[in-house]
Amino acid sequence: MKKNYMPTDALVSPRFCGIKTFMRTPYVTDLEDVDVAVIGVPFDTATTYRTGARFGPAAIRDMSTTVRPYNIDMEINSFEHINVVDCGDMDIIPGYIEDTYEIIERECAKILDAGAVPICLGGDHSITLGELRAAAKKHGPLAFVHFDSHTDTVSSYFGKDYCHGTPFFHAIKEGLIDPAHSIQVGMRGNLYEPNGFKDSEDLGIEVITAKEMHQIGIEETARRIVKRIGDKKTFLTFDIDFVDPAYAPGTGTIEIGGFSSHETMELINGVKDLNVVAFDLVEVAPMYDPTQITAFLAANIVHDFIAMVARKRK
Ligand code: MN
Ligand code: MN
């Protein structure tokens, strides 16, 4: 018989009770019959400025217990249609990124090989390269949607290849993503040189800056993302610093002039029919998040990712 996993019912057990898993889904490591596997990747020693995202997965799980299962924007209770579980955290190795990449790739491959969609909770943005290696091995070069205020396509920092500012340079060089179906959205902030987004454009990736987004609006932005991606198998990565620091202060590298939580949810809703095979949400750093609004927003975004899978698989 097919397994049927459900979150703990908050009308029976108060939401502050129990051990915290994502949205109170079962903690499961056997991936049979699993559709979505939420998994923590608490690696943050590849940041170029403020660390702290190692505590992101725990903070997101903590606030996720207050997210109710019926997703009003997506018009679905995902848990009635698909099996969603929490696999706990990967045993990453602090300070050792290349060894950690092997661990991330191996753990994501297990989820993908079981036919499930991984949703990784970071951790800093360096982790996405390990996830992409696993996803591309499974599915071939992927379409790529990236929400962030930074392009993360610098070739190296401090004379080293890997940090949270470089993953997508390497993803392109390794052939993991197809630049012709890749788009980066929300870029802003002061830069080291005038043409700071040119790195991405030179790699063939489309960039929609925050300034442009503010001009064209959310709906048109979503339309351009969908046009760029089409029905290709897609990797979606969300850096929480896409959101304005007024709404998401709890992150390492804030930039002014971003988007509200409402605009963020509207934008995700506008791309809800993309064929996403792997997601992540990165850079939540709870020590800069005194009222937990960043972690709460992150939990709601992940809830939307789950709904995107449920809409496809129901
Ligand atoms: Mn980033
Ligand atoms: Mn960023």
Rounded distance between C-alpha atoms, residue 134 and residue 296, angstroms? 28
Beta bridge partners of 85: 37
Compute the distance from residue 107 Cα to the ligand 2 centre, in Å.
Answer: 24
303 exposed, middle or buried (CB, 10 Å; 0-12, 13-18, 19+)? buried
One of 3.40.50.720, 3.40.50.1950, 3.40.800.10, 3.40.50.460 is the CATH number of 22-141+153-173+235-267+279-313, namely 3.40.800.10
Compute the distance from residue 209 Cα to the ligand 2 centre, in Å.
Answer: 13
Say what the pLDDT of residue 2 is.
87
Compute the distance from residue 207 Cα to the ligand 2 centre, in Å.
Answer: 14
Ligand nearest to the CA of 253: 2
Beta bridge partners of 281: 121, 238
Residues 6 or more apart in contact with residue 198 via CB below 8 angstroms = none
- Cβ atoms within 10 Å, residue 269: 16
Instruction: Specify whether the CB–CB gap between 41 and 106 falls below 8 A.
Output: no
Q: Two tokens at 288?
A: 């800069």
Say what the pLDDT of residue 116 is.
98
Compute the distance from residue 198 Cα to the ligand 1 centre, in Å.
Answer: 16
Ligand nearest to the CA of 126: 1
As averages over each run of 10 residues, the pLDDT of the chain (314 residues) reads 92 96 97 98 97 98 97 97 98 98 98 98 98 98 98 95 98 98 97 85 96 98 98 98 98 98 98 98 98 98 98 95
Instruction: Specify whether the CB–CB gap between 306 and 117 falls below 8 A.
Output: no
Compute the distance from residue 238 Cα to the ligand 1 centre, in Å.
Answer: 8
Q: So where are the chain's domains?
A: 22-141+153-173+235-267+279-313
